[in-house]
Amino acid sequence: MRLNGLHHITAITGDARRNLGFYTGTLGLRLTAKTVNQDDPSVYHLFYGEEDARPGLDLTFFEHPGATPGRPGAGMVHRILWRVGSPAALAFWAERLAGHEVAAARGEDFVRFADPEGLEHELVLAGAPDAPLVAEHPEIPAALALQGFEGVRAYSARPERSAQTLRELMGAEEAADGVFVLRGESREGRIAWDPAPAEPGRQGAGTVHHVAWGTEHADHDGWLERLAAAGVRNSGPVDRHYFESIYFREPGGVLYELATKEPGFLVDGLPVEKLGTKIILPPWLEARREEIEARLTPLPDPRRGSRGRPATRAVP
């Protein structure tokens, strides 16, 4: 059983409208799913990804309106790394971010910046031969667009045990630079550990909630057996309708999810071109649609009026 890189990364926002504008407007991602947190249906779960909503580019957010700013600390991911295809792409993004008044640090092989709530991102040259995952945007040429997740950097309360879990339980290979690589059939994902700050972390707006690694439906029982044999407490199988999940917290505190690529966001019969245009709900919440929608922040369709192409400006 091999984990197929990063499936998705879930973070927290206190302002869904501003969040939508930044990720679809500034970064050019597609709103691929507008749904709710199934454990708390009163809040959004927004998915931003590539054109066909395949795993590997899905950055997702729970909206807790007015949430206080968080602070990454031990047991939390503090930076998300994205792939781009060339040095020209790094130059393009440095210029684009400046044009959108986003402060960025430019290095020879990276561009580093934060979203409006402080969630840190880094663009790096692709380090794996994976097929690019790209969203369409009229201002961003496909060759220069974000191509998927490269990995994450995290703070561990127990870095030696975190590394052991990756190697012995999850099948990661440790590179010379201390980065752990999880390589599956088609994708690769990475995680690296940095020394944790002395100040304790605080979950809130602009922080990562959990990291999901990709797996196959056929392997889920095997992963449950492996976790049980290692004495790792876990959620057991969780049916998310759009994928199936297993959750567990690694020894350093980071919450991991193992998520299947099947069946995906087309399971309800919505055409791929309509993804993100309406609130989708799993069958067990459908009867509560009117109640749920009444409590959610009204959001515009970022592609409305552009013939299926994204709006040329960020949503205010």
Residue bearing tokens 């931003």: 48
pLDDT tens digit sequence for 175-187: 978 899 999 999 9
Q: Is 86 helix (H, G, I), strand (E, B) or coil?
A: coil
Alpha-carbon span 255 to 104, nearest angstrom: 28
The answer to whether residues 280 and 34 touch, using CB atoms and an 8 Å cutoff, is: yes
Percentage of residues in the chain having pLDDT higher than 70: 96
Q: What is the pLDDT of residues 104-140, one digit of tens each?
A: 999 999 999 999 999 999 999 998 899 999 999 999 9
Per-residue burial over 104-141, b = 16 or more CB atoms within 10 Å of its CB, e = otherwise: bebeeebbbbebebebbbbbbebebebebbbbebeebe
pTM, two decimals, is: 0.94
